[in-house]
Structure 1
Amino acid sequence: MKEYGGDELELFKHAHNWKSYYAGFFRHYLTGDVLEIGAGIGETTHSLCDGSQSSWTCVEPDPALIAEIELKKASGYLPSIVEVKTGLIDVLDHSALFDAIIYIDVLEHIKYDDQELIKASKHLKPGGWLVILVPAHNFLFTKFDKAIGHFRRYNKKMLKDAVPAELKNIELLYLDSVGLTASLANKYFLKQDYPELKQIKLWDSLMVPASRITDKILFHSLGKTVLGIWQKNS
Structure 2
Amino acid sequence: MKAVEDFYEGSELEGLRFATNYYRWLYEEFRPYLRGRCLEIGAGTGTFSKFLLSSSVETLWCLEPAANLLPLLRSEVSKSGKPVKVIQATLAQFVASAPEPFDCLVCVNVLEHIEKDEEAMRQMHDLLKGGGHLCLFVPALPWLYGSLDVQFGHYRRYTKRRLEELARQAGFAIEKLRFFNLLGVITWFLMGKILRWRTWSATPVAAYDRLIIPFLRRLEQHFSPPLGQSLLMVVRREP
TM-score normalised to the size of structure 1?
A: 0.91
Between the two proteins, the alignment pairs up a number of residues equal to 232
Query: SS at the partner of 2:234?
Result: strand
Deviation larger for 104-113 or 178-187: 178-187
Correspondences of 1:2-151 after superposition (within 5 Å)? 2-50=6-54, 52-73=56-77, 76-89=78-91, 90-92=93-95, 93-151=97-155
Per-residue CA deviation, residues 159-194 of structure 1 (Å, 9 max, x unaligned), is 112224321100110011122222233345433332
Deviation at 1:8, TM superposition (A): 1.8
Correspondences of 1:147-166 after superposition (within 5 Å)? 147-165=151-169, 166=171
Letter in 1 for 2:28: G
Q: Which runs of 5+ in 1 are unaligned?
A: none
Whether the 8 Å CA contact 1:179–1:207 is kept in 2: the answer is no
Query: SS at the partner of 1:84?
Result: strand
Moved over 4 A (4+): none
Distance 1:47 1:105 in 2: 15
Deviation at 1:197, TM superposition (A): 1.5
Whether the 8 Å CA contact 1:215–1:221 is kept in 2: the answer is no
Distance change >3 Å, CA 94–CA 164, structure 1 → 2: farther
Query: SS at the partner of 2:183?
Result: helix
Distance 1:52 1:23 in 2: 12
Partner of 1:167: 172
Deviation at 1:225, TM superposition (A): 0.7
Letter in 1 for 2:86: V
Distance change >3 Å, CA 185–CA 68, structure 1 → 2: closer
Query: SS at the partner of 1:26?
Result: helix
- Say whether 1:182 aligns with 2:201: no
Distance 1:13 1:7 in 2: 11
Cα RMSD of the aligned pairs, angstroms, is 1.9
Identity of aligned residues (%): 27
TM-score normalised to the size of structure 2?
A: 0.89
Letter in 1 for 2:94: V
Whether the 8 Å CA contact 1:178–1:210 is kept in 2: the answer is no
Whether the 8 Å CA contact 2:102–2:128 is kept in 1: the answer is yes
Q: Which runs of 5+ in 2 are unaligned?
A: none
Query: SS at the partner of 1:54?
Result: strand
Distance 2:193 2:62 in 1: 37
- Say whether 1:205 aligns with 2:191: no
